[in-house]
Structure 1
Amino acid sequence: MAEAQRVLGGRYLLKDKVGNGGMASVFRAQDQVLDRTVAVKIMLPQYAGDATFAARFKQEAQAAAGLQSPYIVGVYDWGKDGDTYYIVMEYLRGTDLKSGIRSHGALDPKKVAQIGSQICGALSVAHKHEIIHRDIKPQNIMVLPDGNIKVMDFGIARAKNSHLTQDNNVLGTAHYVSPEQTRGQDLGPTSDIYSLGVVMYECATGRVPFDGDDAISVALKQVNELPVPPSQVNPGVDPALERIILKCMEKDAANRFQTADELREVLNAYAAGRAVDVAEPTHVIAGAVPMGGMGGTETRVMGDATQAMIRPADGAPGSTAAGPRMGVPSPGTRNGNYEEPKKSNRGKIAAAVIGVIAVIAAIAIFASGLFGDSKMVTVPNVINYTKDEAEKTLEAAGFEVEYGTPVTDEEVEKGNVVDQTPDGNREAKEGSTVKLILSKGPEPTEQVEVPNLTNMTREEAESTLTSLNLKAQVHEEANEADEGKVFKQGTNTGEMVDEGSTIEIWVSTGPDTVDVPAITGYTEYDATAALDKAGLAYKVAYDYSDSVGSGLVISYNPGGNVAPGTVIEIVVSQGPKPVEKVNAPYYVGESAATAARDLKALGFAVTIQGPADGVVTAQSASGSLNKGASITLTTQAANSGGDGEGTESGED
């Protein structure tokens, strides 16, 4: 694959593609500066040339880079290489939550709470930066090998103060969008909380609360229908967790948990086994007027009634209407069944007609609110137009124009359009307003003078650069300079550079020496291997030793710190020195003086018993003997037949 051979930004070597998204492809890559594996998201070619999408892609990188949390995928860098925009992110090993649910089905309730709590941790950080994720779904939750999670993909995230709008085709997966997101309303933190509620519902039951043949039908259910309580799908879901999930999924955002921190506190309490005080959820949707004989999902007339969502009684799955409740006795009931007051047939017919009219009106009102009934025309794309050109073009197409707060932009010329709402080439109502954002041009960059960093410690140099709004890139290298001191810098002292620039510095690790490994007692093989690994040469000699086993190192020289490549002399034991064998002649009948002299010369210890100048009558040992062995000569006087008297040592 040609793409996989590229090096982006002169730094990131693409290895292999690991995924595709709606706007980008993701590659595993090697950061050649920091020598680490990273994930690189590259905008797809069809979007790279679109100024609106390019602005959104840059915004994603800038927004995500500012989010620091153990539960958010880290963003390290972003840039443009030729016509391609890219984002460099933390590379994760694991599986997405959607795949986990498909493999294992419903999760343990405590695990559901743990996952929900960690997602809250990520959302809390994003929301405090005024960033709404907008696409919380299991596919964007990565489960790591240790069981913790990280939230991914801020591809359609949008800061509250940003005027960039999402592509109409990228509204987030319909199964997880909030009712207000479906209606195209402004979104706040509670929209992400609704989506998280749907994710927890799916974790707890193994299925999504609303499904349909297409995205529109699912989105309509998000607005119109109440979810079947999770315990109806999975009896293992207890009431406390069910109340938490359904409170997150309130149709009216005001009835949900209002912050991720609030929800996280409740989930942590539940996971710890503490009691949680979460009331039965309430829903403000169309008023509960069951259509007799209609069957299926209840249709509700638009109204202001607030209804309590009740856990259905056994045998009444899906029952959610409030007081009187289906399957729950109330005043005026008999045998647990609600009795309608007696009415004439005329009253029943009138009520049915009114009900049908109300339903039709509700559908018409909702449809007109969702899809509109005005003439729809294509919005011209005026990105990079001058203010006057943009106004003339939009007014000629039948649109009103208003302006938002100008923003800085590195690529769009000052005074030109950097963003528009709705996006260009999308349909909008004729006569509606298009909001334009003009560019203030690139952010003016201040310049600073590079200081002299040599002889500073690493900490001093980094602190000095930080105080000047500069960054340090540190290299450690052996040098004659004191250990820990800067001995070289990449940018000359006194040179003027832009604020935010990176200055390379080299810090000494001390003189270029090698520590000789302690190899006494090593085998010759292990000793030479250790010296090879340390970058040292060696010379081997052999000697006898009574204390060191054969083949083991007796000694080495030199030791301590030496220059790389130094020759280390090793002495290896040959074991104890072998004893020399010597032939001892037989001297019986010969002169004792001659015998003693000759045997001493051969290295034997000689003892004479008898006259030293006599004749040898007996010899204690002869033949092949160990050199240094003791030999005793017995003698008698010459020309005497008897035994000699006295004893004389043959030793000098």
Structure 2
Amino acid sequence: MEQQRVLGGRYLLKDKVGSGGMATVYRAQDQVLDRTVAVKIMLPQYAGDATFAARFKQEAQAAAGLQSPYIVGVYDWGKDGDTYYIVMEYLRGTDLKSGIRSHGALDPKKVAQIGSQICAALSVAHKHEIVHRDIKPQNIMVQPDGNIKVMDFGIARAKNSHLTQDNNVLGTAHYVSPEQTRGQELGPTSDIYSLGVVMYECATGRVPFDGDDAISVALKQVNEMPVPPSQINSSVDPSLERIILRCMEKDPANRFQSAEELRGVLNTYLSGRTVDVPEPTRVIGAAAGMGATETRVMNDSTQMMARPAAAQTTARPASRNAARGGAPSSTNGFEPVDNGMGKGKIAAIVVGVIAVIAFAVFAASQFLGGGETVDMPSLIGWEQEAAVDNLRSLGITNVEITQEFNDEQDEGKVCDQTPDGGRSVHTTDKVTLVISKGEKPAETTTVPKLVGRTQEAAEAALKQANLKGKAVTEANDADKGEVFEQSIAEGEEVEVDTVVEYKVSAGPDEQAVPGVLGMTKAKASNELTNAGFKVAYAEDYSDEYDKGTVMAQSHTGTAAPDTEITITISKGKKPGNDDDDSSDNSGSSSQTGGSVSVPSLSGMTKAQAESALKNAGFVPSFSYADGTNEGIHPDYVISWSPTGSAKTGDTINVVVAYGEPSE
């Protein structure tokens, strides 16, 4: 199923939320950032068309560069197999077209506010030389807070694009400009015309031109003049009407020339100041506008017509005879004249009283400084300039700006506001916006000297500097318990509560010294050197060890690496000894039944002790201690008996530390 697809190995399609002429939009889950997004997928029938594919790709590239609170954000785009897609901000709300259908004509101030925000979006696009080309209510999303976002740059095109020569009219006919209908080159004023049509529809509840098909509507865009909005909705005031009709001038030169210019005028209108916009160059009268179907072709003449009275849409006008003082026609449906207190006069008096009361209430509210009541938007996360512009578009000009550090909002964005969004306020009320200065800089401190101190002193120094310590004990030549290394150098500036690791000496690094008694000089030297020790030599006579074997060693047990171990090499029996044997054999150790010294087994492994005892003429017998003895490595000799001397052939009982026997 389409809904189960994952595009680009990242975007899991959920459900379809909309479709258009070129693409379908899905709600999707970004599985990398774990957020809901909207994914726009080109329809299959267009995916193989090079022109449409280029247009789709151009949409993504153009829209991705547009940054504004009033433009739908584009996060990513790509191609998955034959599928082109764009990943966009997922919006909650409804499109402006649906809103107009549900609620009808909007309040004039709301119309101007929407127009101002669309102008802000268009201004960003036009600065990038991008013309939207499809401004219509369906592409304007109204968010829950009442603000809008412009969507779908699907047929937007960069000014210098090679696609500019495509004369197809791709916009919706109800909103296209006359020059777009003719297939002419478009500029920013084309979008302003379409925006004028959107504001017209917002103000009246209906489009200015309609017909049975797109061609007839497009022709009306070129040839007919719109009915003034006030003739459809009497609440549309002259200033807003002039703004809308100037946007919809047939000649682009007579329109507002930039979105920024139009936005400034709309904001002036919203603030209640006088709007300096001339009457439209051509307007159509009420008779032709209210249901007339004839086409009025433009000619070279210029007409200036006064704005019709608003009351003409809500009350039937008196006949021309009545206006001149004559009797009204009996066929016009009006009541005959009554010089007494008839229903008409009573109604007029009631209306007059209500008007006086309304005026008094309005005057009092203005005198007391209340101003117009508007809904305060939520501006948290907005850029400062955009937030202030939004408030001004509502008529709120008393805006106070403060700043503070904030960890949730980026620098320059609103992090707090007073009053809160969603509340009703008067346009004269003061609004305070708190702008984030970014994350609060971390407090720093200086790392103290730890090397040379005891662990206790090091911890005290770190605590005083508002730092945390982590001690590691290692063998070192430094005195036991002394700090000999720290991870961050003394004097460096770091954040408070930074963890500083330091090493405490456990004393010299000692290791087992091999037992080499009974070994030849060469073998003993190799054993000690390979274990990391230095070797020195001495010689002496021995009645116990054969000539050329080690009869004694200076260190047994453990010692620090590079310790010098002195081994004494036997020169054999001392000359003149009664038991001397001129041969190089074992001497007395080989005399069965004779009493000889039991060799010292200290520092020997089991294998070395076994060799030494056999060489001395004894029978070794080994047993393991129950567990290890502190300071003695597994398989090393712990004790032996008898000691001193024994008869050759006797059994020597040897106890070694527990462990696997040496081979």
TM range (shorter): 0.3 to 0.5
Of the two, which has the highest radius of gyration? 2
| TM-score, normalised via structure 2 length | 0.45
